[in-house]
Amino acid sequence: MNLAPLEMSVPAGDGLVLKGTLTYPDEYAGAAFPLAVLAHQYPATRDSYAPLVADLLDSGVATLAFDLRGHGASIISPRGPMVIDTPEGLTLEAFGQAFMSSAGKVGFSRLDNDILRVVSWGANQNFIDARRLGLVGASIGGSGVLLALSMIPGLRALATVGAAGAPAIRDDAADRIRANLEGTRVPCFLASSREDPFDGGGNVTRWSEGLTHVSGRLIPGSAHAMAIYFDVRDELLRFLLPMLGVQ
């Protein structure tokens, strides 16, 4: 039996409506699917996860990719449209200015709670095994899932690619992420390029140091977030699939 995708509409704490798509693997044979919830990078949308979604579905894992607040379809709020700023130019300075402006404008400080609400919605859908949940985050979405880590009991696995931008969420977010990782035994896989322009490589080193349940992976180059997916694809899937009970 084939199961149609489900379109998600979840209200955030400030009334903004978070949108996403829960997609099931092709064949349902009577056993509930594990679920991976995917939080993307700025200034992308849920569609940036297309390669990972395809790989997870082929492996028997359902996926819930959602648009972060202010991105894609997650822009409807009680105060009217809430939309991120776009960089005016191709420089890192232009990118940084637009990113920091967007952080305050759309409320990145709520990302961890947004992720908790999205995970809760996904875990309660038909044909999902709530005992087999994983989180994946890219760039600011990676920092978001690491902050949400302590809020989600029973999580099986967490992975990030180029997790960055934590101070745009809260001033102490980087320290909180490290504390969350020290306080959990959830297996984690943190990957980045070494010269990531947003210090993804430094984050991997700082956040994984001395923690046996946290695997840090640094690859050559300066590509950011999902741009490194095909460089770490095999390792990420070898980590994630067994943790979600998929052989």
Bridge partners of 157, per DSSP, are: 134
Q: What is the pLDDT of residues 163-185, one digit of tens each?
A: 999 999 999 999 999 999 999 99
- Quick check: bond before 220 cis, omega within 30? no
Look at residue 74 and tell me if it is in a domain: no
Look at residue 91 and tell me if it is in a domain: no
**How far apart are alpha carbons 231 and 150 in whole angstroms?**
29
pLDDT of 128 > 90? The answer is: yes
pLDDT at residue 154, rounded to an integer: 87
Name the region of 30 (left: φ>0; alpha: ψ -120 to 50; beta: rest): left
Beta carbons of 43 and 102 less than 8 angstroms apart: yes
Which residue do the tokens 């594990």 mark? 34
Give me the domain span that covers residue 33. Answer: 6-66+111-243
Look at residue 88 and tell me if it is in a domain: no
Look at residue 213 and tell me if it is in a domain: yes
Look at residue 25 and tell me if it is in a domain: yes
Q: Which amino acid is at 207?
A: W
Q: For residue 218, how far is the Cα from the chain centroid?
A: 18
Residue 247 CB neighbour total at 10 angstroms = 6
Average pLDDT across the chain, whole number:
97
Task: Specify the CATH number for the domain of residue 41.
Answer: 3.40.50.1820
pLDDT of 199 > 90? The answer is: yes
Beta carbons of 187 and 213 less than 8 angstroms apart: yes
Q: What is the pLDDT of residues 70-107, one digit of tens each?
A: 999 999 999 999 999 999 999 999 999 999 999 999 99
Residue 80 CB neighbour total at 10 angstroms = 8
Where is 229: in which H helix or E strand?
A: helix 229-243
The predicted model scores a pTM of 0.97
Q: What is the pLDDT of residues 205-240, one digit of tens each?
A: 999 999 999 999 999 999 999 999 999 999 999 999
pLDDT tier at 27, thresholds 50, 70, 90: confident
Look at residue 89 and tell me if it is in a domain: no
Bridge partners of 36, per DSSP, are: 63, 134
Alpha-carbon Rg for the chain in angstroms: 17
Bridge partners of 217, per DSSP, are: 191
Look at residue 229 and tell me if it is in a domain: yes
**223: helix, coil or strand?**
coil
| Count of domains for the chain | 1
Look at residue 81 and tell me if it is in a domain: no
